[in-house]
Amino acid sequence: MARHYPIGLDIGSTSVRAVETSRGREGPWVTRFGAVPLPAGAVQGGVVQDAAAVTAAVRELWSSARFGTRAVALGMTNPQIVVRQMTVANLPAKELRESLPFQVRDSLPLPVERSLLDFYPMAAGETDETVTGLLIAAPKEAVVTAIEAVERAGLHVAMVDLASFALLRAASRLDKRVEAIVDIGAQITSVIVHDDGDPLIVRTVPRGSAEITEKLASALKIDINEAEQLKRRVGVVEGADEARASEIIREAVRPLVNEIRSSFAYLNTGDRQARVARLLLSGGGALLPGFVEMLARQLNVATEYADPTLRMRGRQTVVEGFDEFRLSAAVPIGLTLGAH
């Protein structure tokens, strides 16, 4: 008999998205999915600004998608989230969580009393008394606001997870190659680089596809909706019919490409000596025509779209209409897989 797990819920800048998976004897599969648009400004830079609008969108999503449970795994994406490697005292899990504020107090840009802390152990420290791993610190107010907006829709937040870790869980290829997964949203881009599943870099970049649309609209003096359609049609393909638009878009996307490049360059600082061998793209912003080829050329790394159903091994891996949703599904799929 199949079992239902918490729904993976991703609150983006332009929509709320969710995926339901079930697991039978053959493994997990996608059973339902859905997305509902958000009004402009309801979520800015990963932070809920209009809680009532988010609550209404989540309520509509559950009504339309008919999910089998009201328990959710909620994804968090915020430029203020800090993820850094640290060595801390090797304590039992409960004691470690309680001691984190005291162990990391001097290492955070935010006061510990305004942060939610977690620790992802990766390796033993230099002695048995220490452990090395990733410290995760998220602004408490932003997390609590998002949870309250979701629960006012009649749902229960069973767990909260980083969108970057969800990407890793859903789409990573574990073949002993250094791989980057980049999820491009409207205002936020999540970057995670890993070595056979072990995170090396986790970044949240405050840039996304909306910035490109705005620059195109401003340069051509056209409506934002018209600019969005033009961007999706022309992209960064050189020699396109709308040469002027393509040139503007290529210039507008350059800061984002530079952010991705600088993330990769960080691998070669200090004791790090690694090179990204493969780049996987997800998120609606990755659909820009010609963008895959542009990144492969400028970053000199094999680039392709991520497959968020990589670990869907069950009797049904997709449902009708899922293909149009696929590139935005990596985060919510990874969130629900984390609850399996």
The rounded distance, in Å, linking the Cα atoms of 236 and 189 is: 18
Residue whose tokens read 């000199």: 300
Task: Classify strands 15-24 and 3-4 as parallel, antiparallel or unpaired.
Answer: antiparallel
Which architecture characterizes domain 82-139 according to CATH?
2-Layer Sandwich (3.30)
**Amino acid identity, residue 244?**
R
Asked if 3-78+140-173+307-337 and 82-139 have one fold, the answer is no
**Is the confidence at residue 317, as pLDDT, over 60?**
no
The rounded distance, in Å, linking the Cα atoms of 10 and 163 is: 8
Q: At the fourth CATH level, which superfamily is domain 205-303?
A: ATPase, nucleotide binding domain (3.30.420.40)
**Is the confidence at residue 89, as pLDDT, over 60?**
yes
End-to-end, the C-alpha distance of the chain in Å comes to 15
Phi, psi at 15, each rounded to 5°: -160, 165
Per-chain mean pLDDT for the chain? 90
Judge whether 251 and 267 are in contact, CB under 8 Å. no
Whole-structure pTM value: 0.91
Judge whether 155 and 55 are in contact, CB under 8 Å. no
Judge whether 272 and 266 are in contact, CB under 8 Å. yes
Q: At the fourth CATH level, which superfamily is domain 3-78+140-173+307-337?
A: ATPase, nucleotide binding domain (3.30.420.40)
Judge whether 122 and 138 are in contact, CB under 8 Å. no
**Is the confidence at residue 216, as pLDDT, over 50?**
yes
| pLDDT at res. 29 | 86
Least confident range from 140-154, 216-230, 269-283: namely 269-283
Query: By C-alpha distance, which of 164, 107, 172 is closest to 135?
Result: 107
The rounded distance, in Å, linking the Cα atoms of 172 and 174 is: 6
When pLDDT is averaged across residues 227-241 and rounded to a whole number, the result is 86
